[in-house]
Amino acid sequence: MRNIFLVCHSLFPASLSKCHWHFFMFLTLAMGVASAQKPVETTTPPVAVSTGTLAAEITAAFPQAGSVKKAGKLLEVYDAKKKLIGYALYSKPASDGIRGYMGETPLFIALSTKKTILSVQLLANDDTPTYVKKVLTAGLLDVWNGLNVADATKKKVDTVSGATYTSRGIIQSMQAALKTL
């Protein structure tokens, strides 16, 4: 939008009256806000059944996973022999509306059978790739690993310098998800 403004201003710098100038600035700002807003997805997290394909994040966290079964807010993850090997938790819908720099930051949380956190994965999102990379490089998603749900919920986590909004969105999404348990 700034580019549109610069082009128009360079074409008509002297001919814009103060009134036109303010109207044009308002229009430019309104177009920028409208284009920055994206519809909120209301899809539910992928819940695989024993006859279907497991979601990529489940197989990444539990390579031996064979099936899942919904159990309240959690998904129970079973191996091929139907032995419980852990739990899966999606931050959505608990984290709906929590935003990073450019959008929501949905998470997938893998838990052991004793409900300690094994791993946290950032799912597909609209956040700025450079900020996401800073957060991942800083190891933000690893700070909860090994903690039980109660300790992870209470843990004070610092934001990543240079990616404050993105890391704040991830931290808040994590807290929202854990509070559902």
The pTM of the whole model exceeds 0.75: no
The answer on pLDDT for 26 being more than 60 is no
Least confident of 5-9, 21-25, 67-71: 5-9
Three-state DSSP at 66 gives: strand
The answer on pLDDT for 87 being more than 80 is yes
Structure tokens at 11: 């074409």
Q: Which residue has the higher pLDDT, 61 or 2?
A: 61
Estimate the crossing angle of helix 2-11 against helix 18-36, to 10 degrees: 160
Burial of 88 (0-12, 13-18, 19+ CB in 10 A): buried
Q: Which of 177, 97, 87, 173 is nearest to 135 (CA)?
A: 173
The answer on pLDDT for 13 being more than 80 is no
pLDDT band for position 105 (cuts 50, 70, 90) = very high
Measure CA 9 to chain center.
38
Least confident of 18-32, 52-66, 81-95, 130-144: 18-32
Tallying the residues shown for the chain, one arrives at 181
Contacts of 142 (CB under 8 A, 6+ apart): 119, 120
Average pLDDT in the chain = 81
Contacts of 6 (CB under 8 A, 6+ apart): none
User: Cα–Cα–Cα angle for 149, 56, 133, nearest 5°?
Assistant: 75
